[in-house]
């Protein structure tokens, strides 16, 4: 594992880039947490964009105000595409419905604390698909899972390339 400090113009944000030789998202996320000293942990996929500079602060406040052990958020496509808008609206509704029955979140944005991360032992490295949902579900067994209304932007490229129906059915099968 190699860690490098990234160039950054914001003195309130520390960015470190890690190189992990093992190609496994769970291993990589666990390694990143091992190198951080902060209590609040945001896990973002590479295709996520936050909509404004204060988004992270606002989401963290909502997470804490609602006494959440783990949170996810609402997603909107970063591309202008009507079908993608509908898909992500359905995904948000699905998360809201399932949050108490069978907590489920995609790994595009997960927020939790180091304490919760440690209590469940981090991400399970032997799970190669849906490891993010597994992580959320294990934390939700011991604390509150919240789906925040704050939106972050996610690329719809998987759907645009693979087709909405085919990709959507693949996600339903994984669930």
Q: What is the DSSP string of 23-52?
A: --HHHHHHHHHHH---SEEEEE-TTEE-SS
Predicted confidence at residue 174, as pLDDT, reads 63
Predicted confidence at residue 71, as pLDDT, reads 95
Tokens of 105: 């979140």
For residue 163, pLDDT over 90 is answered with no
Predicted confidence at residue 8, as pLDDT, reads 60
Report the percentage of the chain scoring pLDDT > 90: 41
For residue 1, pLDDT over 60 is answered with no
Residue with tokens 């490098």: 4
Predicted confidence at residue 34, as pLDDT, reads 92
| Pairing relationship of beta strands 70-77 and 16-19 according to DSSP bridges | unpaired
Note the pTM of the prediction, 2 decimals.
Answer: 0.85
Q: What is the pLDDT of residues 65-96, one digit of tens each?
A: 999 999 999 999 998 888 888 888 988 888 88
Per-chain mean pLDDT for the chain = 86
Predicted confidence at residue 109, as pLDDT, reads 93
Q: What is the pLDDT of residues 29-78, one digit of tens each?
A: 999 999 888 899 999 988 889 998 899 999 999 999 999 999 999 999 99
Q: Of 70-74, 103-107, 171-175, give the lowest mean pLDDT range.
A: 171-175
């Amino acid at each position: 594992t190699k860690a490098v400090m990234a160039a950054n113009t914001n003195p309130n944000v520390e960015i470190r880039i890690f190189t992990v030789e093992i190609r496994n998202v769970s291993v990589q996320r666990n390694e990143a947490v091992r190198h951080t000293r902060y209590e609040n942990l945001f896990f973002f996929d590479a295709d996520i964009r936050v909509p404004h500079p204060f988004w992270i602060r606002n989401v963290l406040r909502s997470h804490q105000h609602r006494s959440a052990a783990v949170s996810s958020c609402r997603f909107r496509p970063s591309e202008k595409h009507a079908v993608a808008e509908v898909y992500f609206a359905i995904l948000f509704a699905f998360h809201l419905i399932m949050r108490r029955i069978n907590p489920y979140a995609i790994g595009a944005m997960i927020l939790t604390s180091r304490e919760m991360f440690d209590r469940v032992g981090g991400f399970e490295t032997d799970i190669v698909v849906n490891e993010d949902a597994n992580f959320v579900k294990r934390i939700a067994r011991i604390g509150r899972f919240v789906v925040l209304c704050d939106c972050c932007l996610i690329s719809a490229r998987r759907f645009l390339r693979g087709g909405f129906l085919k990709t959507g059915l693949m996600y339903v099968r994984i669930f």
